Amino acid sequence: MNDEREIALGGGGPGCRKRDPIVVARKVTRSFGGINAVDVDYLEVPRHKITALIGPNGAGKTTLFNLLTGFDTPDSGEWEYDGSPLAKVAAYKVARMGMVRTFQLTKVMGKLTVMENMRLGATNQPGESLAKALFKGIWGAREKEVTAQAEVLLAKFKLDTMRDEYAASLSGGQRKLLEMARALMVRPRLVMLDEPMAGVNPALTQSLLDHIKNLKAEGMTVLFVEHDMHMVRHIADWVVVMAEGRIVAEGPPSTVMKDQAVIDAYLGAHHDVDLGDSTGFERLEEELAHDDESVVGTAGEGLIGHTITELHGAGEPGPATVHAEEKKP
């Protein structure tokens, strides 16, 4: 599944060409008050694959999502989705074209029911036009179709029993599921998920992972931002790493975790540590023992906690994980 040859033309590396890209972005930049939040020279997102976009806090991941989906305007650059240029295309049109996204903090409407939220996700609803709304014959059939489609999706996401509940009454994880289900109402080809696991109860984690894998199985492309490296290793076919607005590495998860640029981006000064093998781990552990300020992220959420836990085996946190936990107040 994670075969580099299947995805990239030639080798991996920042800005590498893909066999079949669904998104192509060139020289996309966005700065805020002198800070280059995004400065992406070239990026292709492979079709029918699950791509993880990772990087330390403030790397520009969400800003890049906002730009690609029309929620923010870049200072410069151009990008295409399935061959159509998207610069200056409004977010709602981007979604109608089949490129949808979810948000780090879910944007479900708490005062609407689960079903009403789902209906809002559908496109091509004649009842939205004032003139057509007067004639039920015109919009009634489409409304039935939309409701039927929503019911299928709600059942799939195990939210059907809550169809008439207010969305505000759902748990954080259920809201993430609802947002994902609602995004699917437009029958997208590309689904972009911004931190799908953040705030999700562990009981729902597996279900969310399965849903994301199912999107690919059903022929969709997935691009997701995530800090949970366990999830990235588990489901991503391809990993793109951002730091300070730029793409600093790309490749299959197993390769990227050993990439020096990735280690630099996450670990700052610890230049010669290879996260992919136990020798590297021992050296990192040794260095961290002398440098409290160098830990990026906290145990359980950052790259260190998960990667090192994995190096030591599941359920048995490595010493550096413990070290990170000890830093917590």
Q: Using the rule CB under 6 A, is 58 a contact of ligand ATP?
A: yes
- CA-CA distance, 197 to 199, in Å (whole number)? 6
User: Strand 35-46's sheet: what is its strand order?
Assistant: 35-46, 21-32, 76-81, 84-85
**Tokens at 314, concatenated:** 């599941």
Residue 77 sits in the site that holds ligand ATP (CB under 6 A) = no
Query: Which of residues 59, 108, 262, 324 is near ligand ATP by CB under 6 A?
Result: 59
Closer residue to ligand ATP in complex, CB, 60/280 = 60
Pick the binder of ligand ATP from 21, 46, 55, 280 (CB under 6 A): 55
Tell me how far apart the alpha carbons of residues 174 and 179 are, in angstroms, rounded to a whole number: 9
CB of 69 to ligand ATP, least distance (A): 13
- Minimum CB distance to ligand ATP smaller for 154 or for 231: 231
Q: How far is the CB of 258 from ligand ATP (least distance, A)?
A: 22
Q: Which stretch binds ligand ATP (CB under 6 A): 1-9, 13-21, 52-60, 297-305?
A: 52-60
Using rule CB under 6 A, residue 188 touches ligand ATP: no
Q: Letter for the amino acid at 41?
A: D
Q: In the bound complex, what is the minimum distance in angstroms from residue 257's beta carbon to ligand ATP?
A: 18
Take residue 228 and report the two structure tokens written for it. 């949970």
Interface stretch with ligand ATP, choices 60-68, 165-173, 212-220, 281-289 (CB under 6 A): 60-68
Q: For residue 270, state whether it binds ligand ATP (rule: CB under 6 A).
A: no
Task: Find the binding residues for ligand ATP in span 26-45 (CB under 6 A).
Answer: 32, 35, 37
302 is an interface residue for ligand ATP by CB under 6 A: no
259 touches 249 (CB < 8 A): yes
Judged by DSSP in three states, 85 sits in strand
Amino acid identity, residue 191? V
DSSP letter string, 9-40? SS--STT--BSSEEEEEEEEEEEETTEEEEEE
Stretch that binds ligand ATP, among 56-64, 77-85, 175-183, 249-257 (CB under 6 A): 56-64
- Our CB check for ligand ATP shows the closer of 61 and 230 to be 61
Comparing CB distances to ligand ATP, the nearer of 40 and 311 is 40
The H or E element containing residue 221 is: strand 221-225
Q: In degrees, to the nearest 5, what angle opens at C-alpha 60 toward C-alphas 54 and 62?
A: 80
Asked if 105 is part of the footprint of ligand ATP (rule: CB under 6 A), the reply reads no
- Pairing between strand 35-46 and 21-32? antiparallel
CB of 25 to ligand ATP, least distance (A): 15
Between 65 and 157, name the residue whose CB sits nearer to ligand ATP: 65
* CA atoms in the 13 A half-sphere facing the CB of 201: 9
Asked if residue 57 binds ligand ATP (CB under 6 A), the reply is yes
Strands, E, within 10-164: which ranges?
Answer: 21-32, 35-46, 50-54, 76-81, 84-85, 99-101
Check residue 21 for interaction with ligand ATP (CB under 6 A): no
- Of 14, 60, 173, 251, which lies in the binding site for ligand ATP, with binding defined by CB under 6 A? 60
Nearest residue (CB) to ligand ATP, 186 versus 259:
259
Instruction: Provide the residue type at 262 as one letter.
Output: V
d(CA 138, CA 126): 7
Task: Give min distance, CB of 91 to ligand ATP, in A.
Answer: 15
> Which residues of this protein are in contact with ligand ATP, per CB under 6 A?
32, 35, 37, 55, 57-63
